[in-house]
Amino acid sequence: MGFHATVFTLYPEMFPGPLGNSLSGKALKQKIWSLKTYQIRDFAVEHHHSVDDTPAGGGPGMIMKADILARAIDVSQTEYPCFLMSPRGRCFNQSMARELADLEGATFVCGRFEGVDERVIEARNLIEVSIGDYILSGGEIAVSVILDSVIRLLSGVMGNVESEYNESFENGLLEYPQYTRPQVFEGRSIPQVLSSGNHRAIAEWRKSQAEAITKARRPDLWSVYQRKHGKA
């Protein structure tokens, strides 16, 4: 059956978008995952199909209405968790990607405007999630990022399990430097150890490089790694 993604959005034409290409696109054709989009505006009952209104108490911008979003979410009738793209949500990471990949499916609500009426978040148990500390125009790009990360973890999508494990964040470290032919590029040579044929030395070099890069560039990740592995 595969992983089923349901997306509620004001711009269904944005999907599958990039997800229709490369690994995720191939997996979509192979039915390893499936996608269904709903136009939120279709659930507005008034003549102009308005989905937003002014914020209670005043303030800038517009707020997505609770009743319309609730009707939209209810039509999906699934038991999958429902995620709302929100800057105040849990920060999405590789661990969360694996959590989602273990599910049969997930529902995503793409926010727009200044936000979503708090009552629908409470009434429909929406799980708020963020992909980073910056502002986007809407949740569609965030959903695409999450799905891309999840899909590549599904069985049958990635061909090389070892490659998957060695990628950034999978083992708590950023990835080590990578090289390929030519042997010399603009006076820069591939590190000699990588041409030595000594697999143990190569593995040690790659681990030391990954640790050094993580320590220098992501002290937050390095602190977690230190606690787990007793590194200085």
pLDDT-derived band at 159 (thresholds 50, 70, 90) equals: confident
- Confirm if 118 and 67 have CB atoms less than 8 A apart: no
Residue with tokens 């049958």: 156
Report the C-alpha gap between 130 and 7 in whole angstroms: 16
pLDDT in tens, 107-149: 999 999 999 999 999 999 999 999 999 999 999 999 999 999 9
pLDDT in tens, 28-56: 999 999 999 999 999 998 878 899 999 99
Report the C-alpha gap between 41 and 51 in whole angstroms: 6
pLDDT at 76 over 90: no
Q: Can you tell me the mean pLDDT for 23-27?
A: 98
Report the C-alpha gap between 169 and 145 in whole angstroms: 16
Helix pair 199-217, 219-229: axis angle to 10 deg:
130
Q: pLDDT value at position 121? A: 98
Check residue 120 and report its DSSP letter.
H
Q: pLDDT value at position 168? A: 61
Calculate the average pLDDT of the chain. Answer: 93
Q: pLDDT value at position 208? A: 97
Q: pLDDT value at position 167? A: 61
Least confident range from 3-17, 110-124, 156-170: namely: 156-170
Q: Can you tell me the mean pLDDT for 159-182?
A: 76
**Number of Cβ atoms within 10 Å of the Cβ of 51:** 22
pTM of the model: 0.89
Strands 184-185 and 188-189: antiparallel
Return the structure tokens found at 54.
């002014």
Q: pLDDT value at position 230? A: 80
pLDDT in tens, 175-204: 999 999 999 999 999 999 999 999 999 999
pLDDT above 70 as % of the chain: 95
- Confirm if 81 and 102 have CB atoms less than 8 A apart: no
- Confirm if 77 and 16 have CB atoms less than 8 A apart: no
pLDDT at 165 over 70: no
